Structure 1
Amino acid sequence: MITDRQVQAPRRSRMDAYLQVLHALMLRDMRTRFGGSYFGYAVVVLWPVVHTFILVAIYVFRKVPAPVGDSRALFFASGAVPVLIFQYISREVMKSVLMNKPLTYYPQVKNFDVIFARILVEIVTGFLGLMLVFLILVAIGVDPRPADPVMAVGGYLAAILLGIGIGTINVGIAAFFPGWLMGYALFGLIMYIASGVFILPNYLPEQIYEILKWNPALQIVEWVRLGYYPGLQIQVDYMYIILFALTSLSLGLLLERHVLRKRS
């Protein structure tokens, strides 16, 4: 007679084996970037942080006034960080299968496992980068605490979700058109310029502002900034951002299941 414990044992062993595969993929991912060591992973974390503060420094040293608030650094960082989190995650997730294709020849490793491992690594990387930005702001005498922490954290989480969704659908596109790696860099630059990192887009003419609001990156910036400046006269379409991200994720998973696996 088969007991419940005997039934659960194979399930647990399969789960343990899957977690070991996922853990190994994450460790390999962290070690194979920038020099093949864990110190190279520190470069991955620092890269968007340096990117953020180069942009902030340019505007601070040029004495460009912040459109709202007393701190230039805080205003510019509150716009740059969520956009960079989104862009770095979407780009790195896109490259996951292309960079780890030989691993999928092993029967234990599927394309989805490689994508999922890269997503987990990028989530950790994004949070570590955000913490470093906060620490640097504190070190230069800027208080990085948002007036509405729930609103700001929600915006950062939305940036991560959007990056995962766009990155997943990019995996399917890049499988057919490897040149999309370069094409997405150009597309991402356009999204970045149109995201309102260094301005308040709601000050633009209404017709232009309504067109720009179709860019989910812009609405993420406004979402985060509402956490720092609750008095801003802006309306964020939270449902649009979440549905955009979830729809992208769903399409990406469908491509992985019905198209990418057949090509493997």
Structure 2
Amino acid sequence: MNIMTNGSLLHSLKIQQRVIYALLMREILTRYGRNNIGFLWLIFEPLFFVSVFVVLAITYRFDNITAVPVVAFAVTGYGSLILWRNMADRSKSAISSNAALMHHKNVKVNDILFARLLLEMLGVSAAFLVLVLTFLGIGMMPPPEDIFTLLMGWLLLAWFGFAFGLCLAVPLEKIESFNRMWGYISLVLFMLSGAGFMVDWLPKPMQDFMLWIPMVHGVEMLRNGYFGSLVITYESPDLFDRC
């Protein structure tokens, strides 16, 4: 009986793997198409925004405020932002736009959401890697001090984005007022996410407030891994001890 159970589980996992792979391929073709720059837009978009941020920072003498390298600060900040924000945004209309696929008995709602969020995580991670390697190659960024801590911060943000996207899928689909307000909510979350500042720059009462926001911990850990001893960070990977 155990052999049959193990065989059935293995067979189910193979089916699940094929379903997710098919949904990923469909999502890539649907979203990026076969023409123009396609998938490369996922890299050029953050590259453009980071470049704008760098120009503004140099213009307004960001280096007079802190010793943190401006390009590395922009890349880590914008990279962390688009990771969780894009994953949350991609859960919007995920169910209704793929409703026809539900006629296949092996395709479930969770499969559609998982494929969308996984593709977004992989795409943004690839864009972040290309940005870092590009600016490292031209000498505009120092290398990261602790790659392991940097990766853990990135994975925490991806985990949060994945969970956040799953939680938002149904409200964005079913509640029209929430769907309309999501753009404003997303903007407020961006300003509170830590992408554009570091907790150490804030007054003590504000620091205590900001450390209740999950994204801040991921960004702080990411920058701790990148800048190391150059900055003071306040991340706590175990966020549940605050509940």
Normalising by the smaller structure, the TM-score range is: 0.7 to 0.9
Structure 1 residue 75 corresponds to structure 2 residue 104: no
More moved, 49-58 vs 116-125: 49-58
Provide closer, same or farther for how the CA distance between residues 205 and 106 of structure 1 changes in structure 2, counting only shifts above 3 A: same
- Residue type of the alignment partner of 2:193: S
Matched length: 242
Identical counterparts, % of pairs: 18
Q: CA deviation at 1:17?
A: 2.8
8 Å contact from structure 1 (residues 82, 221) kept in 2: yes
Change (3 A) 1:66 1:108: farther
Residue equivalent to 2:164: 166
Letter in 2 for 1:227: G
The TM-score normalised by the length of structure 1 is 0.79
Which structure 1 residue ranges, 5 or more long, are not aligned? 245-264
Select 1:180's aligned residue among 162, 178, 181. Answer: 178
Cα distance in 2 for partners of 1:81, 1:25 equals 25
Moved runs in structure 1, 4+ residues, more than 6 A? Answer: 3-7, 241-244
Give the structure 1 partner of residue 138 of structure 2: 140
3-state secondary structure, aligned to 2:238: helix
Structure 1 window deviating more from structure 2 (31-40 vs 157-166): it is: 31-40
Native 8 Å contact 2:72 2:142 kept in 1: yes
Aligned residue for 1:236? 235
**Contact 1:93/1:171 (<8 A) preserved:** yes
- 2:151 is the alignment partner of 1:153: yes
TM-score normalised by the chain length of structure 2: 0.85
Change (3 A) 1:183 1:34: farther
CA distance in 1, matches of 2:65, 2:225: 16
Q: What secondary structure, in the 3-state scheme, does the structure 2 residue paired with 1:100 have? A: helix
TM-superposed CA distance for 1:5, in Å, is: 7.0
Q: Which amino acid aligns with 2:239?
A: Y
Q: Work out which of the residue numbers 10, 16, 25 in structure 1 matches 2:14.
A: 16
- Give the alignment's Cα RMSD to 1 decimal: 2.8
Q: Given that residues 199 and 207 in structure 2 are in contact (C-alpha distance below 8 angstroms), is that contact kept between their aligned partners in structure 1?
A: yes
Equivalence for 1:250: none
Stretches of structure 2 that go unaligned for 5 or more consecutive residues are none
